[in-house]
Structure 1
Amino acid sequence: MDGSLMQAAGGAELSPALAHLVAARLPSGAFALVGLAADGAELFRLPLPDRGHAAAVHPARPEAVAFARRPGTFGLVVDLVTGAGIARLETPEGVHFMGHGCISADGTRLYTPENDYARERGILGVWDAADWRRLGEIPSGGLGPHDVIEMADGVLAVANGGIFTDPAMDRQKLNLPSMRPSLAYLDPRSGAVLEAVEPPARQASLRHIAMRADGTIAAAMQWEGEAARAPAILALHRRGEALRLLEAPAEAQRRLKGYGGSVAFSGDGRMAAVTSPRGGVAHLFDVETGAFLAEIDQPDVCGAAPAGAGLLLSDGMGWLRWIGPDGRETARRETPGLAWDNHLVRAGA
C-alpha cells in the first residue's frame, strides 16, 4: 500500500504493531480479515469462507476469533502475529452466530451471541478459550442477542435485539409486532438475568454495545418502526440506572435514518460515537453531559473503534478516518479495492 495515501497531522512515525482488525470484501468478491497498524497500513490478510462481521481478541495471547456475519456458522481463530488461521469453530445444528463475541479477562472462556432458531430462543455459546471446544450455552436474556461484553466483575452485558429470524426465511424479521429488545446483565455461570433495561421505544432494536473503563455502556439501536417516527438510537447506561438517550438536533438526527451501525467510546472515554451507513454520517456526543458535539460526513461509514485518545472510523468505500479527542479529523487513508465491513475491533494500543 502506498504510504503517500496517509495524510497525518504532525508527521509522527507510528508503530507497525497491530492496532485494529476489520473484515473486508476484496476486489474479487471474496472476503478476508485484515490486520491494520496504527497508521492503517495492512499487516496481514486472512481469507474468510464467507462475509465476516466482527472479532474477539484474546487478552493474553496474540489470538483473536473472527466471526461470520449472521446467519453464518463459522468462527476462525487467528494468530495475530502471522495472520494465519489456527482453529475453526462451528455452531451446533439449528444455531448460528450473530457476528460478535468476547473472551473473558482471564482468557479462559469465549462467549458468542447465537440464534437458536430451532428452539426460537437467544443463547450465548460458551467455549473453552484454551482449545476452543464448545462447553455449552446459557440463555441470553432475550431474542436476537447480537453483541456481548464482559464487565470488570465478570458479569456479561448482552445486547438483545429482540428480533427472531430463521435462516430458512432469509433475514426476514418474524416478530416485529411483539419484539422486546433489551440490554441484559447476566451471571456467566448460570445465565441468570441480574438486571435488564429496555429502550422506551419497543421497536428500537438494541444491537451493538461498547464499554468505557468505568463500566458505562454505550448502546446503538436500529429502528424497526415507521421511518418518520425514528427515536434516538444512541443510549448510555450504568447498572442500577435508567437508559440515558443521546439525541442530536432534529435535522442532524434525521440524517441517521434510525440506524446505528456501530458504537464506540473515544480512547480517552470522553466521547461516544454512533455511525450510520444508511445516512453516511457519524455523530459524536459528550459522555458526561450528553451534549451533541459533531456530525461527521462519511459515505457508508460504519466501523468505529478507539484509536489513541480519539477514534478511527471505516467505511465501505475503503477509507479510514482518524478523529481526535476534540472531534476533528486528524488523518485519513484510502485502501483502494477493499470495502471495509461493519466493524472495527481494537487489537492493540
Structure 2
Amino acid sequence: MGSRRQFLAGLLATGLAPQASWADLGCPTYLSAAKQSGGAYVLAGLAAQGDLLFSCPLPDRGHAASAHPIRPEVVGFARRPGRFADVIDCRSGTRLARLTPPTGHHFYGHGCFSPDGSRLYTTENEYGTSRGVIGVWDSTDSYRRITSFASGGIGPHEVLLRQDAPGLVVANGGIQTHPDKGRDKLNLDTMRPNLSYLGFDGSVDDQIQLPDDLHQSSIRHLAMRADGTVGFAMQWQGAPGADVPIVGVHRPGSAPRLLAEDDPRLRNLNGYGGSLQFSADGTTIAVTSPRGGVVQIFNVASGGLLQEHHLNDVCGLATNKSGFLASSGTGSLVALTRTTMTPLAQANLRWDNHLIRLI
C-alpha cells in the first residue's frame, strides 16, 4: 500500500484531490501578526493553547488578518497607512497574491470575507478626498479587484459581516489622514466618527453617531455577537486624562449604549481600546488597552465593569471556551476568565495588535 503522500499525488494527477482545508494544518485556532527578534515581520498560526503551528513572512509590519472560511488561506493586512495585503497559503507559507490598493488609496489594516469566501472586503482611505472606501476583491479570480463603494464616513478601520442580516458593519473612525503625513491626524477638531451598516452593494441600512461631546471618540474596533449585537471600542483623541467611555454596544434601529460610563476604573484604559471581543456565551465583552496595560471585562446587559486584569503591552484578544485569550508585545499569551489570568505560552515574538480566532 502506498503512502498517504503517494495517494494524494495520484489524486492530484487525476484531478480528483479533495479541496484543501484548515484541517490540513492541524486546525490552527488563532492568527496574529508578529515581529521576530531579528526584526522581520510574520503572520503566525497558533493552536488553542498558544503553540506556534506556522509562520509566514510579511514585507512590513502587519496589523490584522482575515481567514478564508474554507480554504487554508489568510490575508495579512499592513498597518495603517499601508499598501499591501498578502494572501498566504498557510500549508506552505507561499504568497499566493499581493493586493495593492488603487492609486490614491491605502489600506486601514482590516478586511473580511463574504460568507462563502468568494469576496474579500477591505477598508481603505481615498486620501485625496478623505473618502472612506470599501474595496471588493474576487477571491475566485486571483483576488482581482472588481469594485468599491463608500464606507459611510471618514477613516474606516474595522469591517465585519453582520449576523442579523446580509451586509457589513463598518467602524468609521472619523480621522482624516494622508500618507505624506505619516500617521498624523489632520481633523481632530471636526472629526465625526460613526458606525455604518451597509449592504453588499454599498447601500446604507443604518448609521449611528455618538453625542457631540464624544465626537473625538474614534470608533475603531468591532466585535459581533451571534444575535447581531455589535460591540465597538473607541480611542479618545481629545485632551489627555479625560474620563470617557471606551466600549459600547449597538443593535440596528436602536440607540447605542456606552458601558461603565461612570466607573473611575475606565481611566486605566488611558483612552484607548485596542481589541474587543464578546465571550462565547455573549454575556460579557472584553477590551484591551496596550497604553494602560489592562484588560477590562464588562457585563453586556448591565453595562457594569466586572473585572480588570493587568498585562504589560496587552492588545490582541480572542474568545476561548472559558473566557478570553490575550496576547502582548512581550510575547505572552494568557487565558482570562472573570476572576483569573493564566499564562499559556511565551514566544520569542512581539505579538501585534490583533488575535484572530479561526474556529
Q: TM-score, normalised by structure 1?
A: 0.91
Q: How is 1:127-206 mapped onto 2 (pairs within 5 angstroms)?
A: 127-131=137-141, 132-152=143-163, 153-189=165-201, 191-200=202-211, 201-206=214-219
- The 1:290/1:339 distance shift into structure 2, 3 A limit, reads same
Alpha-carbon distance in structure 2 between the residues aligned to 1:77 and 1:308: 29
Deviation at 1:138, TM superposition (A): 0.4
- The 1:185/1:330 distance shift into structure 2, 3 A limit, reads same
Residue 80 of structure 1 is matched in structure 2 by 90
Task: Say whether 1:260 aligns with 2:270.
Answer: no
Q: Higher Cα Rg: structure 1 or 2?
A: 2
Deviation at 1:234, TM superposition (A): 0.3
Alpha-carbon distance in structure 2 between the residues aligned to 1:249 and 1:143: 29
Q: Is the 8 A contact 1:55 1:66 kept in 2?
A: yes
Residue 273 of structure 1 is matched in structure 2 by 286
Q: Is the 8 A contact 1:20 1:345 kept in 2?
A: yes
Q: How is 1:66-77 mapped onto 2 (pairs within 5 angstroms)?
A: 66-77=76-87
Residue 242 of structure 2 is matched in structure 1 by 229
SS of the residue 1:231 aligns to: coil
Residue 353 of structure 2 is matched in structure 1 by 342
Alpha-carbon distance in structure 2 between the residues aligned to 1:267 and 1:55: 21
What letter matches 1:193 in structure 2? V
Residue 22 of structure 1 is matched in structure 2 by 32
SS of the residue 1:99 aligns to: strand
Task: Say whether 1:124 aligns with 2:160.
Answer: no
Deviation at 1:16, TM superposition (A): 5.3
Residue 100 of structure 1 is matched in structure 2 by 110
Alpha-carbon distance in structure 1 between the residues aligned to 2:148 and 2:104: 13
Alpha-carbon distance in structure 1 between the residues aligned to 2:204 and 2:252: 13
Runs of 4+ in 1 over 6 A off after TM superposition: none
SS of the residue 2:302 aligns to: coil
Q: Is the 8 A contact 2:332 2:343 kept in 1?
A: no
- The 1:327/1:130 distance shift into structure 2, 3 A limit, reads farther
SS of the residue 1:312 aligns to: strand
- The 1:206/1:95 distance shift into structure 2, 3 A limit, reads same
Deviation at 1:17, TM superposition (A): 2.6
Alpha-carbon distance in structure 2 between the residues aligned to 1:271 and 1:168: 41
Alpha-carbon distance in structure 1 between the residues aligned to 2:50 and 2:89: 19
Residue 8 of structure 1 is matched in structure 2 by none
Alpha-carbon distance in structure 2 between the residues aligned to 1:119 and 1:223: 24
Residue 11 of structure 1 is matched in structure 2 by none
What letter matches 2:241 in structure 1? A
Residue 53 of structure 1 is matched in structure 2 by 63
Residue 17 of structure 2 is matched in structure 1 by none
Alpha-carbon distance in structure 1 between the residues aligned to 2:207 and 2:262: 29
Deviation at 1:264, TM superposition (A): 0.8
Task: Say whether 1:246 aligns with 2:263.
Answer: no
Alpha-carbon distance in structure 2 between the residues aligned to 1:263 and 1:281: 12
SS of the residue 2:189 aligns to: helix
Alpha-carbon distance in structure 2 between the residues aligned to 1:328 and 1:242: 33
Alpha-carbon distance in structure 2 between the residues aligned to 1:329 and 1:170: 37
Q: How many residues in Structure 1 have an aligned counterpart in Structure 2?
A: 331
What letter matches 2:35 in structure 1? R
What letter matches 1:186 in structure 2? L
Task: Say whether 1:290 aligns with 2:293.
Answer: no
Q: How is 1:298-317 mapped onto 2 (pairs within 5 angstroms)?
A: 298-317=311-330
**Structure 1 stretch displaced more, 276-285 or 76-85:** 76-85
- The 1:329/1:16 distance shift into structure 2, 3 A limit, reads farther
Output one character per residue of 1:212-264: Cα deviation in whole Å (capped at 9) or x when no partner.
11111110000000123241010001111111101276441111111111111
SS of the residue 2:301 aligns to: coil
Q: Is the 8 A contact 1:211 1:218 kept in 2?
A: yes
Which among 61, 74, 77 is matched to residue 64 of structure 1? 74
Deviation at 1:329, TM superposition (A): 2.3
Give ranges in structure 2 of 5+ residues lacking alignment. 1-24
Output one character per residue of 1:274-296: Cα deviation in whole Å (capped at 9) or x when no partner.
11100000100112222211001
Q: TM-score, normalised by structure 2?
A: 0.89
Give ranges in structure 1 of 5+ residues lacking alignment. 1-14
- The 1:242/1:272 distance shift into structure 2, 3 A limit, reads same
Residue 10 of structure 2 is matched in structure 1 by none
